């Protein structure tokens, strides 16, 4: 289960992931490119940007030190040298790879997948990639949903309940959790199960036989 899903492992994403992981949160980074990846950028890091890192920038990443500037305008040339470091030049592919490693060393997990869409649901967020649906808290489903049952002309009885007051969820601080079970009105058989909350990915296996062809959980 992830507390936070960060999309993109650029400097913003990796830094946010590191801060969150340091605060004890379970973090997933979804990045569409395999690192190190080329990034079109001048690579000039300001002193302020460097001061925001909570670790020293390794010497081997610092390729040039900028202490001044020369500006050409027609025949006019303006030059000013401050005599102290104004910024540092890095190659982004190496710099970004390093920041990602710094997030991963604290525990952030990285998966190479392109995010296609995210949906804000009533009590959780779904982040969709081509291969998977990531949610926080965990969402696991087997069998039919209400809409699908209706489309197939199956009269379903819906059993649903919030479970955030259950010990299994409250002990790990999950505020939003619940279940929805669909049973066939005629036969009484379970035709769909949808669980949101702690251990949903395990518990859903109990409902496996109701329609093994369709499930996803992460």
Ligand X SMILES: Cc1cc2nc3c(=O)[nH]c(=O)nc-3n(C[C@H](O)[C@H](O)[C@H](O)COP(=O)(O)OP(=O)(O)OC[C@H]3O[C@@H](n4cnc5c(N)ncnc54)[C@H](O)[C@@H]3O)c2cc1C
Instruction: Give the residues lining the site for ligand X (CB under 6 A).
Output: 7-13, 30-33, 39-44, 114-115
Q: Which is nearer to ligand X, 22 or 180 (CB)?
A: 22
Q: Which is nearer to ligand X, 88 or 141 (CB)?
A: 88
Phi, psi at residue 90, to the nearest 5°? -130, 160
CB of 23 to ligand X, least distance (A): 19
- How many Cα atoms occupy the beta-carbon half-sphere of 57 within 13 Å? 22
CB of 127 to ligand X, least distance (A): 9
Long-range contacts: 58-66, Cβ < 8 Å, 24+? Answer: 58/98, 61/90, 61/91, 61/94, 61/95, 61/98, 62/88, 62/89, 62/90, 63/88, 63/89, 63/90, 63/91, 64/88, 64/89, 65/89
CB of 135 to ligand X, least distance (A): 16
Q: Which is nearer to ligand X, 41 or 154 (CB)?
A: 41
Q: Which is nearer to ligand X, 43 or 178 (CB)?
A: 43
Give the Å distances, CA to CA, from 32 to 21, 37, 106, 166.
21, 10, 21, 37
CB of 131 to ligand X, least distance (A): 12
């Amino acid at each position: 289960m992830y507390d936070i899903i960060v999309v993109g492992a650029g400097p913003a994403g990796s830094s946010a992931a590191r801060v969150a992981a340091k605060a004890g949160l379970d973090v997933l980074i979804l990045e569409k490119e395999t690192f190190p990846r080329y990034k079109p950028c001048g690579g000039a890091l300001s002193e302020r940007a460097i001061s925001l890192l909570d670790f020293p920038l390794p010497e081997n990443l610092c390729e040039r030190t900028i202490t001044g500037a020369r500006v050409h305008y027609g025949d006019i040339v303006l030059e000013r040298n401050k005599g102290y470091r104004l910024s540092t030049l890095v190659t982004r592919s190496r710099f970004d790879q390093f920041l990602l490693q710094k997030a991963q060393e604290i525990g952030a997990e990285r998966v190479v997948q392109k995010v296609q869409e995210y949906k804000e649901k009533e009590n959780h967020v779904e982040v969709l990639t081509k291969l998977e649906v990531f949610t926080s808290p965990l969402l696991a489903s087997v069998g039919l949903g209400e809409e699908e049952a209706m489309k197939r002309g199956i009269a379903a009885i819906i059993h649903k309940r919030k479970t955030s007051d259950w010990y299994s969820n409250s002990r790990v601080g999950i505020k939003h959790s619940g279940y929805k079970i669909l049973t066939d009105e005629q036969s009484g058989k379970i035709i769909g199960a949808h669980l949101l909350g702690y251990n949903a990915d395990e518990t859903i296996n109990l409902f496996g036989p109701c329609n093994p062809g369709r499930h996803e959980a992460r």
